[in-house]
Each structure stands twice: as C-alpha cells, then as structure tokens.
Amino acid sequence: MWNKIITCRMQESDITQALGIWQEQYERYCSSDEAYPDYWKSNTGELEEFLRSKVQDATAIVAKLDKAVIGFMAYDLFPFNGENSVFCPPTAHAAVEEYKQEAYLSLYKSVSKEWVDRDIFNHMWIINYNDLKLRVILYDLGFGSYLVDGFTCPNIEINCTSGYQIRKAELQDLEILYSLVEESRQYYSSAPIFLKRDLYSTDDISKVIRNSNVFIAFDGSKAIGLINLSVSKENDIINLSVSNSGQIDELGAYIKPEFRGKGLGKELLKSVFDFCNSQGIKSIHVDFETANLFANKFWKKYFNPMLLSVRRTINKNIND
C-alpha cells in the first residue's frame, strides 16, 4: 500500500475529487450538531475558490492511489509570535476514511520536508475535534493540543442567581474596561497558559466599544469581569462560521480571580445569549486555549467542541 501512494502538487483537475472527500469528512464529523453551520456541506463555492488559489500558489498537495485522489492538504505561511510558521485550516485537508492514516502520513512526510528545508519549524493544523483517528495520527507525529473552537445555540436556558450587575459598555467605561483588559493580559501570560496577548491602547478599547458588544459585570461599583461579542459580517472558512453569527472574540472573556466559581461566568454568558436572541442570531462561536484551565472547563459546559488546533515545533538545530 505505502509504496503505491504518490504525493504531488495539486492541479486544478484534482479539485473536484478533493472537495468530494472534504464534504464526506464534514458530513461524518460535523453535521450532527445544530449549532455548527451546515452551510459548508452544500455551498462549496468558497472552498473551491480557496483551493484554486492554493493551486496557483503551489501550496497544495495531493496523495493519489492508482491515479485517484485519496487525500489532500493545503497551507498558508505566516509569522506566529515572530516565528516562521505554516498553518493548515480545516478547509484545507481531508482524506478518504479507508486510507486516512496512509494518506495523512504521506502528505505530511512530503510537505514537512519542504517546510523544514526552508527553516519553517512551527507547524499548526486545525482538525475536526471528533476525528479521534486523525488526532492520534498527529499526536504520534508530535503534535499537541493548542486551541479549541466551540459552537452553541443561544436558546440554551441558563439559570443565574448571583445578583451581579451586568451592562453593556459605553465610552464612559473606557478606563474601567482598559484596566480589566490589561489585567487579563497578565493572566494569559501566566502559567500554564503562557500566551502573549496584544497590548491594547485606550484608543483600541474605544474602537472595540464602538464596533462590538462588550458586557461588563460589577460588584457594587467595582468592575469584576467582561465578555466581548461581535457579530460576523461574512463567512469564515478558517473556523467555518457564517455571516450573522456571534463571535466571542477580540477581548474575549475575563473574570477577576476572587470572583470565579460564583456564577458570574454564567451571568455574563446569559447576557450574550439574551442579546443574540434579541437580534435573531442563531449560532455563537468561541475559541479558547486548552492550557487555559478555567476557560477549558467553563466553555465546554455550554459550547460543543467542533474544531481542534494542534501544533508541533521542530528542533531548531535540525539544519545546523
């Protein structure tokens, strides 16, 4: 089997087969969840355009068995924390289930040699969370969990009795929100997350207040937590969300340590759900680091994990 599989650059003539394999994979692992958009199952125009651009850039390869495509992989090059990196989004790879292990290993062996020869040592993929077979394949190659994308419907009932005051941020709350965001930045850099987040200026915070929906929680006059919701204006083939869906992003969510475990997270999330229901928003997306112990526990109570980002860092001295 292994010596019969060949890998080569994807050609435009391969795109139709590749899309068929991707649709079957999407149906198998994603279509059972009502919060996860089924738009991509039948509307493949954007995916086809994406793969065509990868063919033109020569950043897509296929695995073939007896001249038939059994798997494919495309990727983007980008700087991640100042490091040359490659990124393979969930729309950019799939394999026939029968030959999944052989196809993925052949694809990665082929393209990773090219990456490392170019001193690109940071490799990142997004895979279907429920594809346990692929997860094992990648974990055996040295990839580890990094980020989870979860989806939910805002019609879930949340019972809250904590009594904290929550209101939507206005420009008069600029300094209060800035202080919370800066505190959250310090939190994300701590163990075991070790995530360096962007430094926001007051001008940046002002733009977020004007362009999205930030809810701040108060204990009396003291600001103790926040959650940031935006509404997508277009489809996103990276996280497979669709237009007019809620996105907990940008500032994310944060609660002061002394107020965690007291029901405040539920109250903040209920504010988001209430807003989405009032605006006719049917689906909400959130992503969170697997090393963020508090978030990893909280979000999975209300969101179904659908995508998993994995990451591998190659030894930097390999080309010495």
Per-residue confidence (pLDDT) for residue 1, from 0 to 100 = 61
Express each pLDDT in 180-200 by its tens digit: 999 999 999 999 999 888 899
CATH 3.40.630.30 in the chain, residue ranges: 2-147+309-313, 165-282
Give domain 2-147+309-313's CATH architecture.
3-Layer(aba) Sandwich (3.40)
Q: Determine which helix (DSSP H) or strand (DSSP E) holds 301, and give its type and residue range.
A: helix 293-302
The token duo for 240 is 């497979």
Closest CA to 72 of 113, 20, 140: 20
Q: Which residues of the chain have pLDDT under 50?
A: none
CATH code that applies to domain 165-282: 3.40.630.30
pTM of the model: 0.94
Closest by CA position to 108, among listed 91, 96, 125: 125
What's residue 2's pLDDT? 57
Q: Residues 163-188, buried b or exposed e (16+ Cβ, 10 A)? A: ebebeebeeebbebbbebbeebbebb
Q: Would strands 246-255 and 284-289 be described as parallel, antiparallel, or unpaired?
A: parallel
Listed in sequence order, the residues at least 6 apart from 9 whose beta carbon sits closer than 8 Å to its beta carbon are 55, 58, 60, 61, 62
Q: What is the pLDDT of residues 107-132, one digit of tens each?
A: 999 999 999 999 999 999 999 999 99
Extract the tokens encoding 153. Answer: 């419907």
